[in-house]
Amino acid sequence: MIREALSLNNLCLNDIKLFTIHNCNIHLWKVLIARLNISEDKFYFDNHHKYSHCMNYEMLFNYESIASITYKGNYIISLSLGAGGFDGCTLIRK
């Protein structure tokens, strides 16, 4: 899903400034990070302990929280995982 979003927009992983994630089990995200061979520094985990899992509202909290560390023109990917195998990937250009 990440690779598809990048491909459809003629981008690569290096073009992404930051990944925001919903606050599920951090271990799942670390597995994804290892599989994609992405630096963990590109993932925003700061709100995980602050908000925990809020039925995907944390996506909005996380996006708002990164406002001061991303700049106009930066690409951000917002990722979520859900019950029953549902997932989401949103590519954002700030």
| HEC letters along 45-89 | CCCHHHHCCCCCCHHHHHHHHHHHCCCCCCEEEEEEECHHHCEEE
31's enclosing H/E stretch is helix 26-36
The confidence band for 51, taking pLDDT boundaries of 50, 70 and 90, is low
Domain 2-93: which CATH number of 3.30.565.10, 2.40.10.120, 3.40.47.10, 3.40.50.170: 3.40.47.10
Domain ranges for the chain, please list them: 2-93
pTM passes above 0.85: no
Q: Which residue has the higher pLDDT, 67 or 15?
A: 15
Mean pLDDT of 79-90: 74
